[in-house]
Copies of this chain bind each other. A is one copy, B any other.
Amino acid sequence: MKKVGVGIIGLGPRAETLLASLKFMTEGIAVTAICDFKEERIALLRKKILEAKMDAPHEYRDYHRLIADPAVDAVLIPTSWNSHLLIAQECLAQGKYAGIEVGGAASIDELWQLVRAAESTGVSCMMLENCCYGRNELMMLNMARKGLFGELIHCECGYLHDLSDMAWREPDKERTIHNRFRNGDLYPTHGLGPIAKILRINRGNRFLTISSTASKARGFAAAAKAHGMGDVTYNEGDIVLSVIRCANGETILLRHGVSLPRPYSRCQLVQGTRGLWEEDAKGIFIEGISKTEERIDSAGNPYTVHTWDPVDSFYEKYDHPIWKKYRDKQIGEHGGMDYLTLSAFAEAVREHKPTPIDVYDVAAWMSVTALSEQSVALGGQVLPFPDFTDGKWIARKPEEPSAWALDEIFEDLQR
């Protein structure tokens, strides 16, 4: 197996987390170059790479030079939200695959620039959206493609995670500062990525409109104040709701909430004409599989009662082929999701194929952040999504079959 030479630009905590998975992948991936503008971060990552018995990489403080390095086939870009799209654009323009981290766009134009750069060389920009490779998300994709939910009608998703301690633990962190100044869905892709895949966005379907609404903002300011930081203003509403309509008539509800105390949830829901999965209910209901009773009310009229099945009871039969193959390994961080995501990226680079999550997915998913900010600012005004595919979404087919294709199973069904 030809080793893929990977460069990493931006050596903060997320680079360390990626390395924790990459060190199990040295058969197929070599970290050939690292780059940061801070010398101490380069030193830290060098140390960790050597501790993991990996070869010493080239070191750069100028990312343009890393991108130009012939030992680099692909670049991972765990840099700040305001810089990774610009860097990715340069990688693509130079014909190098780019793997960017999750997050949202600040403007629609930076996404157009990314799309045009990818189109100019034909290489892919993949978002390393590990939640697309989560066990439940993969199973729902599998079940959706096998038709268990019937025709898809409505989905929900989001990112509900109490990060209010950022306000006092890391007041100068980039993410904290974004929450101070912006107001929109700043972190849409953990929830929306898997749902977009299930709804075939950019492959026969697309996001059409969005309307976003923010609640008042209390959580971060209260956390800051309670920890002696004084009065700090946070613009980000504690809850931001976005409602998206798709070209084929499906609705998506997307939530963002990172400043209030609550158990973690990505609040996923996939609902079709024959049943649904709901993360928070820990349940799946499928007509013909799950229990449905006919009862009679006190006035003698019949009515129907449907009952949830536990999600767990579907794993054996419906785990996605990718998860089945790797589920006992649980390699690296985030329950193995990072490993699966990086493996998919590396294989696409090695074979010079499209990545399972491509530049049109990146553009559509990340545009939600910029559009939701605009819609919130306009009091919930409905806004249109740009069509980053220039109309190609209508005819684009599911991914080509490969070991990592999220959609291969669909192709299997058609054959």
Residues of A in contact with B (beta carbons under 8 Å apart): 13, 16-17, 20, 151, 153-154, 162, 165, 169, 209, 211, 213-216, 218-219, 222, 237-239, 241, 243, 245, 248-251, 253, 257, 260-265, 271-276, 278, 280-281, 283, 285, 287, 292, 298-299, 301-302, 304-308, 333, 379-382
What are 23 A-B contacts with C-beta separation under 8 Å? A153-B218, A154-B215, A154-B257, A169-B302, A209-B379, A213-B251, A215-B249, A216-B250, A222-B273, A237-B251, A239-B271, A241-B243, A243-B243, A260-B271, A260-B276, A261-B274, A262-B276, A262-B285, A262-B306, A263-B283, A263-B307, A281-B281, A382-B382
CA distance A308 to B253 in the complex (A): 23
Which residues of B lie under 8 Å from residue A304 when comparing CB positions?
162, 165
A213 touches which one: B211, B216, B257, B307 (CB < 8 A)? B211
Closest to A261 in B: B287
A380 touches which one: B260, B272, B305, B382 (CB < 8 A)? B382
A137 to chain B minimum Cβ distance, whole angstroms, is: 19
CA distance A211 to B242 in the complex (A): 11
Which residues of B lie under 8 Å from residue A257 when comparing CB positions?
154
A238 touches which one: B16, B154, B281 (CB < 8 A)? B154
A280 touches which one: B215, B273, B274, B278 (CB < 8 A)? B278
CA distance A380 to B382 in the complex (A): 6
CA distance A306 to B261 in the complex (A): 7
Which residues of B lie under 8 Å from residue A275 when comparing CB positions?
261-262
- Asked if B248 contacts A216 (CB within 8 A), the reply is yes
Closest to A244 in B: B213
Which residues of B lie under 8 Å from residue A218 when comparing CB positions?
151, 153, 273
- Asked if A154 contacts B239 (CB within 8 A), the reply is yes
Which residues of B lie under 8 Å from residue A264 when comparing CB positions?
305-306
- Asked if A251 contacts B215 (CB within 8 A), the reply is yes
Which residues of B lie under 8 Å from residue A299 when comparing CB positions?
13, 16-17
Which residues of B lie under 8 Å from residue A302 when comparing CB positions?
165, 169
Complex copy number for this chain? 2
- Asked if A162 contacts B222 (CB within 8 A), the reply is no
Which residues of B lie under 8 Å from residue A13 when comparing CB positions?
299, 301
- Asked if A251 contacts B262 (CB within 8 A), the reply is no
A216 touches which one: B153, B222, B308 (CB < 8 A)? B153
Which residues of B lie under 8 Å from residue A209 when comparing CB positions?
379-380
Which residues of B lie under 8 Å from residue A216 when comparing CB positions?
153, 248-250
CA distance A165 to B304 in the complex (A): 9
- Asked if A381 contacts B382 (CB within 8 A), the reply is yes
Candidate in A162, A248, A308, A381 with the most chain B CB atoms within 10 angstroms: A162
A265 to chain B minimum Cβ distance, whole angstroms, is: 8
- Asked if B261 contacts A241 (CB within 8 A), the reply is no
Closest to A379 in B: B382
A274 to chain B minimum Cβ distance, whole angstroms, is: 7
- Asked if B263 contacts A306 (CB within 8 A), the reply is yes
Closest to A169 in B: B302
CA distance A298 to B15 in the complex (A): 12
Contacts A17-B298, A165-B302, A262-B275 aside, 20 further interface pairs with beta carbons under 8 A come to A13-B301, A17-B299, A153-B216, A154-B238, A165-B304, A169-B302, A215-B250, A239-B251, A239-B271, A260-B273, A260-B276, A261-B292, A262-B271, A262-B306, A263-B283, A264-B305, A264-B306, A281-B281, A379-B382, A381-B382
A87 to chain B minimum Cβ distance, whole angstroms, is: 22
Which residues of B lie under 8 Å from residue A213 when comparing CB positions?
211, 243, 245, 251
Which residues of B lie under 8 Å from residue A261 when comparing CB positions?
273-275, 285, 287, 292, 306
A211 touches which one: B16, B211, B272, B298 (CB < 8 A)? B211
Which 5 A-B pairs rank lowest in CB-CB distance, beginning with the nearest? A216-B249, A154-B239, A215-B251, A380-B382, A280-B281
Which residues of B lie under 8 Å from residue A380 when comparing CB positions?
209, 211, 243, 245, 382
